[in-house]
Amino acid sequence: MLLASTVPAVATSVPDSANPIDHIVSNMTIDELIGQMTWTYVYGNSADDASMATDNQARYGVDTPREVVEKFDLGGVLYFAWSNPGIVNDPELAAELSNGLQAVSVGDEASGIPLATTIDQEGGIVARMGAPMTVLPGNMALGATFDAALARAQGEILGSELAAVGVNADFAPVVDVNTNPANPVIGVRSMGEDPQNVATLGVAQIEGMQSQGVGAAAKHFPGHGDTETDSHTGLPIVTYDRATLDQHLVPFEAAIDAGVDMIMTAHVIVEELDPEMPGTLSPEVLTGLLREDLGFDGLITTDALDMGALKELPDNPLDDGDIAVLAIQAGSDILLMSPDVPATFEAVNAAVESGDITRERLEESVTRILEWKVERGVWEEDPSVPVDEVMDVVGSAEHTATAQEIANRSVTLLRNEGDLLPLDDGQSVFVTGWGQSGVPNLAQAFTDRGVEADHLYTANFPNAEQIAAAAEAAEGHDAIVLMTHTPANTAQTQAQRDLLAALQATDVPVVHVPVRNPYDVAWENPAPAQLVTYGYQRPSLQAVADVVLGTVEPTGKLPVNVPTADGEGVLHPIGFGLGYEDEEPQEPAQRYGFFLTNGWKGGDADYAFQYGRHTDEVLVGDWDGDGRDSITVRRGNQYFVNNAPTGGPAERVLTYGKADDVVLVGDWNGDGTDTLAVRRGATYHVKNSLRSGDADHVVVYGREGDAVVVGDWDGDGRDTFAVRRGKVYHVKNAIAGGDADTVFAYGRESDVTLAGDWDGDGRDTFAVRRGRDYHVSNTLRGGEAEQVMRYGRESDEVFVGDWDGDGRDSIGVRRTPAA
């Protein structure tokens, strides 16, 4: 424990100038440092619950959660259904557990520092807490919507509900790119196979979660999506080349750019990086790649150290102490779920004594942990949460409706021979197949909608007798809805295939519904109708019933490629999905992001993509001098530059000016490349290159309250300023003070003004926006508009740029979720 005589005013006192973090850390003992790095589970439903004393004694040598926290000065705890069973369906108990453990941790017998209270609450098949917490369909279902707004909403739901029960970090989202259909451990926990879609949705989830005060952890670095071994039981090894690895890194790079709090490691050997050690224990992976190459400065946490992979290293048997030492040497800050905590303390102490680990190395990680606790709001005077407010947040009508929207929009129709779906009114349904609770729940969903529905659960892996019983029970119905679930065992998969074949042999048409991985649809002799849900939670089953009956249109699109049965080709590509109204599958629709057009005719966008965060300030310019404008986003005084209308990670990041500066973009010196100027009142600080440092020009022009527009007004290749006062424009042709070169009136005082070269003559002029209508003038004079175009929506945020490099500017809009 941290004694008051050693570290002044630590207990419940947030670090300040009189007691900074570096002072606190420098006064810790080695055991106290190890304790802050140790995040593990404790058995019991309250701090003083001794009902699971046998389990606590076996692992920690004490009886209660309180005693575990005090004995080891733990830095964090991790909740599970099997260690804290009361949390599963009782959010108020979870809040009380969090409050009790925090009170212990800030007390005199423990560290005096609040705990990281953590959980794996991904949504879908990995959710330690169930209803009345909001039940979410899962990540691959989210991936099938291709909707970043829904992803952010999912993150906000997870964050707000976990914060309400006192959880301050969620080991989510999974940003692994699931490229291997045989992956036994990721699968539908992934948002799909397209790195960019995973990155976009992953960033949106992270931002949503962290906006609610809960730290997110992108996992499993450097990628667990192309493995055929479950790292819980064995050691996965991937042999792909660097180009393939780089695709798996795309979501992690995006997460880092988005400011993710933590990254969790993978117990996977990536031979391209380190042929001997899994990522969790590899300095090349954690320090070389993650810290140095990708520039991540947040918290690195191991995956659970009690997983089987770490005991399976070829010709390199490791004990539990060895594993902890190697994880620290590799670069991890957090030792998650050490299988033998006393052995961890003993081994790390020995490594410090021998010089294999320095005290400075431990202090580095603990400093990072404590800084996170302060920045994330964990370390407060009172870290408790109001238990009486929990039920006002969890499972709210709004959250439940969002979960159902994700499910409804995820259901993917892959086959519909003879227009079997939707079913006609009055038709009866027989539900059977996988899922002891799923089969009756789906049948009940049909019954609730006025449909005559019977059901028979056949066992997850039915034998011949059970298959025959299902086929017999199906007779006399108008349709069979068969739920399947691909297991890892080939023989068990065959049992479900045999059930499908037997049902196909009846006279009743079959609707095949894989309720986990979508790859089941490639089985031989496919059913006439196939619907993929990517999950078997209640929202997904409700959505299946509605889609089968036609009250919800199937709009989901595959977020993965579905291979042919022999694995040699692609049966259905990413983005495939049928609708009841469409003869041909449509591309996934994008609701939010950037929509750019290359002309002045209205209609659909020429480019649609996601980039940055919804709250970013957007700047448009030709950053590399190729003649095409693209998007840069600003966060404070940091600028994330992208040179193409494609979304994805920034190509360059620079720092300039102050966070509260007004920023303008222009080609100030006529070299063909746009750079920045910042405005402070009537003073402009102009920069001629995209780098940090002092301004190249400082000029005073106009008045402090003027609205400012940038353009090349005389066609000399250099941008300058114009100021607007009402509907009067004062145009300047040089970066200098003094009087305007041209003054004229145009439009109305209430107009939104845009500047661009609309006709390609090299000179910028004005367009004014009124709602969805744009009134364009090609000369710097008053009078009527020469062209009027309608584009986008009234609520769109509008930008001007030459997106295709043809010399003419046009319109781009950004749509973001409502605040």
Q: Where in 687-725 does DSSP place strands (E)?
A: 697-700, 707-711, 720-725
Which of 631, 649, 650 lies closest to 640, judged by CA?
Answer: 650
| Separation of alpha carbons 289 and 303, rounded Å | 17
Taking the C-alpha atoms of 214, 215, 220 and 223 in order, what is their torsion angle to the nearest 10 degrees?
110
* Cα–Cα dist 647/570, whole Å: 26
Contact at 8 Å (CB) between 564 and 519? no
Distance, CA of 697 to CA of 677 (rounded, Å)? 9
Which pair of tokens denotes residue 808?
Answer: 């003419």
Residue among 275, 181, 281, 277 nearest 228 (CA): 181
Q: Which amino acid is at 682?
A: A
Distance CA 94, CA 168 (A): 12
What's the rounded Cα separation, in Å, for the pair 531 and 578? 10
232 in catalytic set: yes
| Residue 303 known to be catalytic | yes
User: What is the CA 600 to chain-centroid distance, rounded?
Assistant: 35
Secondary structure of residue 648 in the 3-state scheme: coil
Per DSSP bridges, beta strands 570-572 and 562-563 are antiparallel
Tokens of 216: 């997110």
Q: Which of 716, 718, 719, 677 is nearest to 700 (CA)?
A: 677
DSSP state of 424: P
Q: Which of 303, 306, 320, 333 is catalytic?
A: 303
**DSSP secondary structure letters along 113-127:** S--EEEE-EEETTEE
Provide the CB-side half-sphere exposure for 791 (13 A, CA): 30
H or E element at residue 733:
none
d(C-alpha 785, C-alpha 613), whole Å: 35
568 Cβ neighbours under 8 A, 6+ residues apart: none
Assigned token pair, 509: 């048409």
> Cβ neighbours of residue 246 under 8 Å, at least 6 residues apart?
none
CA dihedral (549, 550, 555, 559) in degrees, to 10, reads: 20
**Catalytic hit among 31, 230, 232, 356:** 232
Point out the residues that are catalytic: 232, 303
